[in-house]
Chains A and B, each alone.
Chain A
């Protein structure tokens, strides 16, 4: 065991976008049950320090793999691709058009929670489609540039969903 192994290996999972969420959760809990600082509160200094480092590492790995967006980004990183490189912001024109439509819909909705909910449903459905595409691009076709482009689209969707949540607040 060492700190340099990848997140998937840490949990004994295959390196892939498609993931058995239950298995990940079980492995995470089983490891935490062994190494969490609460298990070492009465132990020596060396074990307390190591346990905090391990628990920190396991938390980071779990949070990365648990969220599809972060998992995809991490997988691309393992293959040497920085999907969110600020120098590459290219978006296909049809997606740019849809972006503008969604933004307008958000502005038109104002504080109308019914309109916001309809827009939210549409965005969530589209985000789910994009995640299905990611699985194809990463696990089957191993097409990193295509996956990176999908990831950028997903990031836009996430930001817009956050704005919708903020709009509900007002």
Chain B
């Protein structure tokens, strides 16, 4: 039997230790968690052997929460408290939601994002999603036998800033450290591309439960470069179910349906759709609350007629993405199918016809996104050397500002490679104007009213001048998660007023803390203990990263004194880690963070030089 190694007490963990990280596909219909084990990405199953966790959350009257199969089983019986497809509500207001009539929930309109009234009180879609993430986190920790350093969470490529921010907030609420938000088609491309050693232009057609993405990627020697992405964040397999549901109502001549029957018939519609993937017709039987019996036969031909317009709706983004990428159909070497809905034979045929080739379905369309996310999590956690592959992704929708007359001035165009930043100067409209209101929007249309409003803020303290004399510089920065931050400053007179906005729908740290306190399982939990645990994880990571950096090029880039000063800061943080004083730990972390700025800059410069010369580090003159 092999001997296990145990570190000396108080010593930092060895830098080569495997860090536990997972990839999570937070889907509309099903969610999955996967990890890389012995170099191979695998989906983690629950105790019963299920990989897919239905994205369903049920709030019970006794205060408990069911997630997954247990919740799904009660959906028809307890529709108001059993939330299905919550992803459709992420970052969405009430007026953004189509098909309200077919949804059995009690919505509450709230600024920024809709809320749902349940027996456990009003819940935001962020809180509901966090329940799903908590289950997946626990599953990951149980399977890997330890605390996770972080997770890569996938989002539809066409998700806007509000939807991305909501997803990240849900992860925070679930106590997950988000290594990266990764676009679903890109995750699928990693899993597919690395499996097949693919090179060339590939299209990823991703039809999930509630969202549709089409990404065009260029794969070259381990680089996955997204050239363009298009989609529809309110089109998915759910819509195919809804068409069948409406057909059932029509055939059975039902005019009013209560919420129980609604939820049951939606489930029957879904079953019929899935059955039709391998059969010519599906029989739909149901017993309604009224005692009425439904017994219908749905043929594949009827199903295809019912859903033809939905299939066509997915081809427009295919055309647009190709055009944005400056490519023609002939340039595409392969089409990868992702998402359970792509099992529908008519969809495969339509996509094959459009691209002039049979789409690739050799990876399980339900699992490929989670597997790709797990591979990326493994790299981001630092378990691989980092030379294996590189992702270059884009922002899916243009970001801009409202200008005079309700028009949009685009600052960052869609399909810009992230991270990216752009600045634009604006001026005052009236003499003596001392404030400017800045309205940030996302979308392709010219009118503000047709785009999504992300945030509004005011820049005050502009010195009074004649109209057009002030200079206000607004900077948009989109980070590697695809999330936007905006800063504005008046530069005309040298008097600067800067502000960083966080979009209004994002949660503040206080709000997250309040939600945590309010939630059931944290009611008796000690918040201070949780904060300390989180700070410890961050501090340990910082100590490890700094030690690794010092070992790599501390000698080359630092003088003896500089190195000694840094090592002193590392030792101080190591010391603080041994105690349980949160404030002291934060102080020591801040000091080390501050102390490494110059060293980090030198390391980065060295990296760039290394890239350009193609030489090994030790051959370079510093």
CB distance from B606 to the nearest CB of A (A): 8
A31 touches which of B376, B416, B419, B612 (Cβ 8 Å): B612
In the complex the two chains form, is A31's CB within 8 Å of B611's CB?
yes
With A34-B611, A50-B601 already in contact, the answer to whether A41 and B419 are too (CB < 8 A) is: no
In the complex the two chains form, is A54's CB within 8 Å of B604's CB?
yes
Asked whether A113 is an interface residue with its Cβ less than 8 Å from the other chain, the reply is no
Q: Which of B149, B150, B480, B599 has the largest count of A CB atoms less than 10 A from its CB?
A: B480
Interface size class of B (residues with CB under 8 A): 35 or more
Closest chain B residue, CB of each to CB of A10: B608
B390 touches which of A36, A41, A44, A50 (Cβ 8 Å): A36
Closest chain A residue, CB of each to CB of B538: A45
In the complex the two chains form, is A42's CB within 8 Å of B390's CB?
no
Chain B residues positioned under 8 Å from A52 (CB to CB): 419, 479-480
Chain A residues positioned under 8 Å from B323 (CB to CB): 165
Could you give, for residues 146-189 of chain B, a 1 whenever the CB lies within 8 Å of some chain A CB and a 0 otherwise? 00011000000000000000000000000000011000000000
B541 touches which of A42, A56, A63 (Cβ 8 Å): A42
A43 touches which of B417, B545, B609 (Cβ 8 Å): B545
In the complex the two chains form, is B608's CB within 8 Å of A56's CB?
no
Asked whether A132 is an interface residue with its Cβ less than 8 Å from the other chain, the reply is no
Q: Please measure, in the bound complex, the distance between the C-alpha atom of A38 and the C-alpha atom of B379, giving whole angstroms.
A: 8
| Contacts of A1-38 to chain B: CB distance below 8 A | 1, 11-12, 27, 29-38
In the complex the two chains form, is B593's CB within 8 Å of A56's CB?
no
Chain A residues positioned under 8 Å from B594 (CB to CB): 46
Chain A residues positioned under 8 Å from B512 (CB to CB): none
CB distance from B568 to the nearest CB of A (A): 16
Could you give, for residues 36-76 of chain A, a 1 whenever the CB lies within 8 Å of some chain B CB and a 0 otherwise? 11110111111100111011100110110000000000000
Q: Please measure, in the bound complex, the distance between the C-alpha atom of A41 and the C-alpha atom of B384, giving whole angstroms.
A: 12
In the complex the two chains form, is B608's CB within 8 Å of A41's CB?
no
Closest chain A residue, CB of each to CB of B477: A56
With A54-B608, A56-B477 already in contact, the answer to whether A44 and B596 are too (CB < 8 A) is: yes
With A42-B19, A46-B597 already in contact, the answer to whether A1 and B380 are too (CB < 8 A) is: no
B420 touches which of A42, A45, A46, A60 (Cβ 8 Å): A60
In the complex the two chains form, is B612's CB within 8 Å of A38's CB?
no
Q: Please measure, in the bound complex, the distance between the C-alpha atom of A30 and the C-alpha atom of B386, giving whole angstroms.
A: 13
Chain B residues positioned under 8 Å from A51 (CB to CB): 604
B417 touches which of A1, A27, A59 (Cβ 8 Å): A59
CB distance from A129 to the nearest CB of B (A): 19
Q: Please measure, in the bound complex, the distance between the C-alpha atom of A25 and the C-alpha atom of B449, giving whole angstroms.
A: 39
In the complex the two chains form, is B180's CB within 8 Å of A38's CB?
yes
In the complex the two chains form, is A37's CB within 8 Å of B479's CB?
yes
With A34-B607, A38-B390 already in contact, the answer to whether A44 and B419 are too (CB < 8 A) is: no
Q: Please measure, in the bound complex, the distance between the C-alpha atom of A12 and the C-alpha atom of B386, giving whole angstroms.
A: 24
Closest chain B residue, CB of each to CB of A57: B421
In the complex the two chains form, is B480's CB within 8 Å of A34's CB?
no
Chain A residues positioned under 8 Å from B614 (CB to CB): 30
Q: Which of A35, A44, A55, A59 has the largest count of B CB atoms less than 10 A from its CB?
A: A44
CB distance from A141 to the nearest CB of B (A): 30
Q: Please measure, in the bound complex, the distance between the C-alpha atom of A47 and the C-alpha atom of B544, giving whole angstroms.
A: 13
Q: Which of B376, B479, B545 has the largest count of A CB atoms less than 10 A from its CB?
A: B545
With A33-B611, A59-B419, A63-B416 already in contact, the answer to whether A44 and B592 are too (CB < 8 A) is: yes
A63 touches which of B417, B549, B597, B601 (Cβ 8 Å): B417
Chain A residues positioned under 8 Å from B381 (CB to CB): 41-42
Asked whether B391 is an interface residue with its Cβ less than 8 Å from the other chain, the reply is yes
With A38-B379, A54-B604, A55-B480 already in contact, the answer to whether A45 and B419 are too (CB < 8 A) is: no
CB distance from A152 to the nearest CB of B (A): 21
Chain B residues positioned under 8 Å from A33 (CB to CB): 223, 387, 390, 611
Could you give, for residues 533-565 of chain B, a 1 whenever the CB lies within 8 Å of some chain A CB and a 0 otherwise? 000000001101110010000000000000000
Chain A residues positioned under 8 Å from B390 (CB to CB): 29, 32-33, 36, 38
With A35-B604, A56-B477 already in contact, the answer to whether A42 and B419 are too (CB < 8 A) is: no
In the complex the two chains form, is A56's CB within 8 Å of B180's CB?
no
CB distance from A27 to the nearest CB of B (A): 6
In the complex the two chains form, is A47's CB within 8 Å of B603's CB?
yes
CB distance from A98 to the nearest CB of B (A): 25
In the complex the two chains form, is A30's CB within 8 Å of B421's CB?
no
- Please list the 9 inter-chain residue pairs (A to B) with the smallest Cβ-Cβ separation, ordered nearest first: A41-B380, A42-B382, A34-B607, A1-B605, A37-B480, A30-B611, A46-B600, A47-B600, A31-B611
Q: Pull 11 A–B residue pairs with CB atoms less than 8 Å apart, ordered by A.
A: A1-B608, A31-B611, A41-B380, A42-B179, A44-B592, A46-B601, A47-B603, A52-B479, A56-B419, A59-B417, A59-B419
Besides A35-B607, A38-B380, 12 other CB < 8 A contacts? Answer: A11-B612, A29-B390, A33-B390, A42-B179, A42-B545, A44-B542, A46-B596, A46-B601, A47-B549, A47-B596, A50-B600, A62-B417
